Structure 1
Amino acid sequence: MTDYDEENRGQFHFSSRRGWMNDINAPVYYRGVYHLYFQHAPNSLVWDTMHWGHATSTDLVHWQQQPNALDPAVHPGDLWSGGGVVDTANASGLKNGDDDPIIVYSGTNGVTVFYSLDGGTTFSTYADGRKVVTPGGTSRDPKVFWDPVSETWGMVVWSDEGGNGVDFSVSTNLLDWTFATRFTADWLFECPNFIRMPLGDDHHWVLHAASGKYVVGDWDGTTFRTDWTGPERINQTETFAGAGYYAGLTFENVPDGRIVSMAWQGENKGSVWTGNASFPVDFTLHDTPDGLRVFSTPIPEIALLRTSSETLENRTVEDGTQQLAAGDTYELEATIDVREATRFTLRIGRDLVYDVAAGMLEDAKFPPVDGKLELRLLVDRDQLDVFGNDGAIYQSYNLRPTELELVAEGRVHVDTLTVHQLGSIWR
C-alpha cells in the first residue's frame, strides 16, 4: 500500500502525502505550472507549528507534492495563511535572473514578505522580516490584488479592531504599503479574498471571507463600497474552520483572466494525513433574478480523469426507488424533470433531499428551469461536491459513499443521467 491508497483517501482531491493541511495559501500560475501552497504541519495529524506546504500541477488536476516552501526554522514569524502574486513587471525591483519574482505574504499581527527568484520553489525573507503592514487589534491572512483601473496593488488583511473587518492598503511596488480604508462586517472573519470579476462589459469586485460568505460591490482604488445589506454564500453548506468548505483563495496570474478557486476541506483524515483541498472550481459572476451571484463549476480539466462513462436516458421513477450503478470515485451529470414530483432524494451516504414546492435542495434555493434541474455530483471516496444549474448551487460534504439511489415521491423523470468513472490523480 502507498500513502495514497487508504480506503478513504480522496483520489482526485489533493491531500498532503503525510501530516496535517488546512488553508489554501497563495495559489499562483507561472510559466505553465500551477503552484498550490497550503498550511501544513508535516509531522502532526493535528494543527501544529505551521509551514507552507507546496504542490505543483500542469493541468490543475494531477498534483505533485514538493518540498515545503516556507519553514519556521528558516523563515521568521508565524507562517500562517496568506496570498501571493507573480511580479511580472518587476514592480518590486527584486528580479535577479530570468524568473519573475513570486512574492507571498504571511504573518500574524503584521504582514511579512517572502519572495522567490526560482519560479516559486524556494523563498527568501524580505527586509529581515520587517512588517510591511500592521493593522490594529489581532490580524492575519493578507491577500494582495491588482487593480488595472487605478494601476495599483491592493492588500486586504483581516483584523478584529472594532469588530470583524478588513484593512485595505495600496502600493505601487508590492513592498511599501499605505493604509487606504477599512471595511467592517460581522460575517467577515478570517482569510479574506478580493476578486475583480467580469460581467458582460463591466467588472465588479467580490469580497469574501473564509466561510465563503460574500458581497459584491465596487472598488475605486482606495475604497470598497457595496449596497448589499447581508452576504450570500459561495458554498451553501454550514462552513467553519474544519468543515467541508473553508478558507478558499483564487489563483493569481491565470491566462485568459480565468478565476479558479480552491478551498480547504477539513473533515477527512487517515492514519498518516489530515485534511485535503477541494476540487478546483471556476468562478463566474451572473446577474440573476435575485441579484448578482457567484457561480461555481468544476474545472473542465476533470475530463482528463474520466476512464469510462455510462448513460441512462428517459427513465421515470414514480413513488419508488431507482438503483444507480456508481462506485466510489465518479462524476454524475443529470437532467431531472420535477414537474410531476413532490420531492426526490439522492441517497449517497447521506440523503440529499430536493423539495419541489419550496424549490430547495437541502437549505439552498434551487428553482427548476423549465421544470427541470441540472445536477452534477463529484464523489471521491469520503468527499461529495454537489453542483446545480450551471454552478448556482455548490455544496460540499464529508461522507462514506454508499450505493447510489434515487427515491421519488410523485413522478420524477430522468431525461439523462451519466456516470463518469474517474481515475486517480496520484501517479
Structure 2
Amino acid sequence: MAYHEENRGQFHFSPRRGWMNDPNAPLCYRGVYHLYFQHAPNSLVWDTMHWGHATSTDLVHWQEQPIALDPSIHPGELWSGGGVVDLGNHSGLKVGDHDPIIVYSGTNGVSIFYSLDGGFTFAPYDGGRKVVTPAGTSRDPKVFWDPVSEHWGMVVWSDAGGNGVDFFTSSDLLHWTFASRFAADWLFECPNLIRMPLDGDYHWILHSASGEYYVGDWDGTAFRSDWTVPQKINQTETFAGAGYYAALNFSNLDGDRIVSIAWQGENRGSTWMGNASFPVDLKLRRTADGIRVVSTPVPEIESLRQNTWRWKNLTLDADAARQLLSEIQVDTYELEATVDVRDMQRFQLNGVPLQPQDGKVKVRLLVDRDQLDVFGNDGEVYQSYNVKSGDLELFTDGLLRIDALTIHELASIWVSER
C-alpha cells in the first residue's frame, strides 16, 4: 500500500522508496519513455547517488524499474546528466538489435555509460574515463543534436570565473572538443539547450535548473542572445528542493515535440521523499512582451479522466460559489475554467500578471493530493507546488462570472500496485 499513503501523488511519479531529486536523461526509445532520476534508494535524505529508472508507454502511467546506474558497479559520482539514443550508430557502440543509449554523468568531469539492451542496463565507456573536464567545479552534462551543423553538442555547468556553461561538440558522442563558454549569473546547475520551432523558423532556448532562460541562437559552436534579463519557465520560487527544479526535456521524440519534466522536492511519506512534476509540452509563443516559453500538461492526461462535472454561464456570489462544489469529494482532479474579468483593471494568477484575452482568462489546475500544477491562458503562466491539500472549495469576494467550468476526477496511475 506504499503508493496509497494519503499524501502520495496519484498521477505524479515518485519512487516506491527512498530519496528522489533531479530527472536524468529522459528519452524515448521504440515507444517506451525512460525516466532516470537521482536516487538514494535507502535514505530519505540526499545520500550517495544512484540513477533510478522508470518507464512508461504514455508519459502518464509509470513502472519503476531496477536501478540503472549503481555506484557499487559504475565508477564515479553518479550525479545529474542527460542522454541520447544513438540511432545512427555515430558512436560505433552498436552490437545486436538495439541502438546504443548513451548517458552522461559525473562531477568535475564527464563520464559516459551506454546501454545495448534498450536502456535497462549500462556499462561504462573506457572504464569511466572522463571525456571532458571543465575548469572549476562542474557537473550536469546535457547532450543535444544540431541538425544544421550535423554535430552533437554538450552543455556542462561550471563555476570557472562565475556561473556559466561550457559547450563541447562531437561527431561520435564519445570524443568531445571544447567549443565556447556562455556566462551568466542566473545560469546555475542543470543547464539545457533546446531547439524550438516558431513561425516556420527555429530558436534555441538555454535554461538553468531554476527554469530561468534566454532565447537565442546556436551557430554550431556557440550560443548567443541579445536578452539581458532572463524569463522563467515556471513562475514560482525555484531552488533545489522547491516545487520545481532541474527540468529536462525528453530526447528522441517525433517531430518538434518537446516534453519537459522536473523535480518537486517538498513532499514526502513514510518510505519516500520527492516526486517528478507532471510532464508538460513546451512551445514558443509570441506575446505582448516578446517570445516566451509556454507550458501545458501533456494531452495524454486525458486517459486518466473518469467522473466529470460541467457548468456554463455562471454568476456567483460568495454563498453560491461555496455551495457550487460542496457535494464533490475528490482529491485528484483537473479543473478548467474560463473566467470573465472585464470588470478588473488588472489580473494576477498567484501573484503573476496574466493578460486577459477578450476580457477573459483561462485557468487550469492539476490537483494531486499534495501536488499542485497551475496553468494560465494555455501555459503563459505555469507554476508547480507541493502543498497541503484540502477539500475542493470555491471562494469569491464579489460577483464571479464564469463562462465555463469543468472538473475531471483523475484516476490513480498506481492501480496495479494495490
Counterpart in the other structure of 2:349:
361
Name structure 2 gaps, 5 residues minimum: none
Deviation of 1:363 (Å) = 2.6
- AA paired with 2:401? H
CA distance in 1, matches of 2:55, 2:117: 14
Cα RMSD of the aligned pairs, angstroms, is 1.0
Aligned to 2:214: 215
The 5 A counterparts of 1:343-358 are: 356-358=344-346
Q: Match of 1:101, as an amino acid? A: P
Moved more, 399-408 or 316-325: 316-325
Indicate the residue corresponding to 2:331 in structure 1: 328
Describe the SS at the equivalent of 2:52. Answer: strand
Post-superposition Cα deviations, 1:72-119, rounded to whole Å, max 9, x if no partner, equal 000000000000000000000000111000000000000000000000
Per the alignment, residue 347 of structure 1 pairs with none
The correspondence for 1:380, drawn from 368, 372, 391, is 368
1:321–1:406 CA contact under 8 A, matched in 2: no
What residue is the counterpart of 1:40 in the other structure?
A: 39
- Are the aligned partners of 1:333 and 1:419 in contact in 2 as well (CA < 8 Å)? yes
Map of 2:341 onto structure 1: 338
What does 1:229-268 align with in structure 2 at a 5 Å threshold? Answer: 229-268=228-267
Question: Hey, what's the Cα distance between the residues in 2 that align with 1:226 and 1:280?
Answer: 27
Counterpart of 2:47, as a letter, is D
TM-score by length of 2: 0.97
TM-score by length of 1: 0.95
Contact 2:349-2:376 within 8 A present in 1 as well: no
User: Whole-Å Cα distance in 2 between the matches of residues 94 and 177 of structure 1?
Assistant: 16
Is contact 1:338-1:411 (8 Å) kept? no
Tell me the secondary structure at the aligned position of residue 120 of structure 1.
coil
Which residue of structure 2 lines up, in the alignment, with residue 345 of structure 1? none
> Aligned residue for 1:25?
24
Q: CA deviation at 1:327?
A: 1.6
Q: Flag the structure with higher strand content.
A: 1
Q: CA deviation at 1:339?
A: 1.5
1:349 counterpart residue number: none
8 Å CA contact 1:321–1:405 kept in 2: the answer is: no
Q: Return the alpha-carbon distance in structure 1 between the equivalents of residues 360 and 393 of structure 2.
A: 19
2:255 & 2:301 partners in 1: Cα distance?
A: 19
Unmatched runs of 5 consecutive residues or more in structure 1: 341-355
Find the counterpart in structure 2 of residue 271 from structure 1.
270
Deviation at 1:357, TM superposition (A): 3.1
Q: Deviations over 1:272-301 (max 9, x none)?
A: 000000000000011111011000000000
User: Aligned to 1:304, what secondary structure does the other structure show?
Assistant: helix
- Residues in 1 aligned to 2:388 and 2:350: alpha-carbon distance in whole angstroms: 18
Q: Deviations over 1:39-74 (max 9, x none)?
A: 000000000000000000000000000000000000
* Fraction of identical pairs, as percent: 70
Which segments of structure 1 move beyond 3 Å, counting only runs of 4 or more? 318-321
User: Does 1:408 pair with 2:396?
Assistant: yes
Alpha-carbon offset, residue 194 of structure 1: 0.6
Q: Secondary structure at the match of 2:384?
A: strand
